[in-house]
Amino acid sequence: MVDNLYFFNHINSYTSGPVVMNPQEFDSLELELTSKCTLACPSCARELHKDVQDQWDGGHLPLDLVKSIADTTNFKRYNLVGCYGDVIYHPDFIEICEYYLSRNKNLIIHTNGAFRTSAWWDRLSSLEWKNTEFFFSVDGLEDTNHIYRKNSKWSSVLLGMEKMTAIPKERRPNLIWKFIEFPYNQHQIEQARNLATQLGFDNFETVKSVRTAEQYYLSGQKELYVFS
Ligand code: SF4
């Protein structure tokens, strides 16, 4: 959250006067909307840097600040992705998306997709999505996703996937299922790809893990069984 604090000061320095559109040096801006998450992925910064949590746990970016960024910048893309938190747990996430979409901002969203209610997904999926890439980071199926995505609940992830893929084509984001390969879920890649197609995802991407599964991700006998 150090970056957020830096950006907060930086943006404040040019949002105090009349609203102006500032020239951008870079193509895209990454916004860490929140330091909150319901999961505990073992190699996530929030797990690796637990000992200095007071330095990065800045909570949620203020809604006014996030809106002012939309009003005063014109990056080609706005990446809503978290290093210490997952963007869907920002309490104003839906309002933020709506605000950016209404101003024709190109969004790239990454989420683990877990633990939002049906009513919440109904609201999110009712937006007029356009120029958006929406990634579900889901590394396996019902019996394996929680091994790296610790604490995740499959039924809630599937709910989010079903709600987003049910959006009519003409106002849908580009929906991508991103699947990190581990030794314990590699045998499920084709099954997950088929499920992605069946649900209506636009793309299914696999990413190789550079970590050793036994050392970093498996903690219980049940998980070791899945690996063996
Ligand atoms: S879902 Fe993302 S933010 Fe949450 S613990 Fe996993 S990697 Fe970290």
Q: Is 85 in the pocket of ligand 1 (CB under 6 A)?
A: yes
In order of their start, the domains of the chain are: 2-227 (3.20.20.70)
185 contacts: CB under 8 Å, gap ≥ 6: 139, 140, 141, 144, 145, 147, 179
Q: Among 39, 211, 217, name the best residue to mutate to test ligand 1's pocket (greatest count of ligand atoms within 8 A of Cβ).
A: 39
pLDDT computed for residue 6 by the predictor: 41
pTM: predicted TM-score of the whole model, two decimal places? 0.86
**Ligand 1 atom at minimum distance from 85 CA:** 3
Which run of H or E residues covers position 73?
none
In eight-state DSSP terms, residue 143 is T
Share of the chain above pLDDT 70, in %: 81
Question: Does the structure show a pLDDT above 80 at 223?
Answer: no
Q: Is 114 in the pocket of ligand 1 (CB under 6 A)?
A: no
Query: Do residues 80 and 111 lie in contact, with contact meaning Cβ atoms separated by under 8 Å?
Result: no
pLDDT bracket for residue 208 (50, 70, 90): confident
Which protein residue's CA is at the shortest distance from atom 8 of ligand 1? Answer: 44
102 contacts: CB under 8 Å, gap ≥ 6: none
Ligand 1 centre to CA of 59 (Å) is 15
Ligand 1 centre to CA of 36 (Å) is 9
Which protein residue's CA is at the shortest distance from atom 7 of ligand 1? Answer: 44
